[in-house]
Chain A
């Protein structure tokens, strides 16, 4: 994989928490065992909806086989960057597990912020007016599918990933009493303790005993 998904641009200072990383290095496991990544039910729904209702030529071509390769992800990113460049700006794009971060470059954002010093909402809206139209039809769905396939190759649901993570911390029994739809809030709310909150929501379990 040629892109970094572990480093977040310091200028953007943003992170996304990939619960998919809760289990020990799933991506490496998939690549070393030759296990093909599996689309989650959610990803399947996204693809079928998009193909049913339209999507850009790029999205339809990439998602026709219900998979996204590294090269196809790069193609989508290039299209996004080209679109932003056409508007006169430099795109910021960072894959983060099953998600991503976008914007213009930090330097350009600072310039926009200076221009909208007294109306921050207008400044944010201005940047969004550049970025959002370029996301649509390029990275918006493709990046999510790619992120799922690479960071959650078993296609597990969010509750499944959380339960697996809590199980590694010995909290399986406690987790069993919490309904799926309440589990994320319970973990992020600290109901399973600080360690579970940090490790299960940040996907840092590699150093667990």
Chain B
């Protein structure tokens, strides 16, 4: 099976710079994923969890990472979907951020590029 190296993948964020944000705030922006000569775009947001809305990627992904009220860190499963992927924040969380991904289908291989919001 062909396998692309993650190191060969470049992802850049356009629009507003995204940062690790507290739950009281939201960050969003249109992200551009580049794999080789292929590009795609999706919109990422953090509001109640990580969310990726597809514009032109083969698929999108979302994952939420958090700090619980007890102080422990954690994260949700990865969600992958053709159009809209959402990973909501579990209950009892005091702080969270999101990771989203856009996937490009290169030579039959779905390559996800994950980015922390």
Contact = CB atoms under 8 A, between A and B. Distances in A.
Contacts of B108: 49-55
Interface in A50-98: 50-56, 92, 94, 96-98
Interface in B66-89: 72-89
B39 interface: no
B63 interface: yes
A190 B23 CA distance: 20
A66 B79 CA distance: 24
A166 to B, nearest CB: 15
How would you classify the secondary structure of chain A's contact residues: helix, strand, loop or mixed? helix
A17 B86 contact: yes
A141 B74 CA distance: 28
B74 A109 contact: yes
B81 A16 contact: yes
A19 B84 contact: yes
A114 B79 contact: no
How would you classify the secondary structure of chain B's contact residues: helix, strand, loop or mixed? strand
Given A99-B79, A136-B1, A124 B99 contact: yes
B55 A184 contact: yes
Given A120-B65, A140-B110, A141-B110, A103 B78 contact: yes
A165 B53 CA distance: 17
B58 interface: yes
Contacts of A54: 1-2, 107-109
A30 interface: no
Interface of B: 1-3, 43, 51, 53-56, 58-59, 62-65, 72-90, 99, 105, 107-110, 116
| A-B CB proximity, top 8 nearest | A99-B81, A53-B108, A103-B77, A50-B108, A12-B77, A49-B108, A53-B107, A13-B90
Interface of A: 9, 12-19, 42, 45-46, 49-56, 92, 94, 96-103, 109-110, 113-114, 116-117, 120-121, 123-124, 127-128, 131, 136-137, 140-141, 144, 148, 158, 181, 184-185, 188, 201
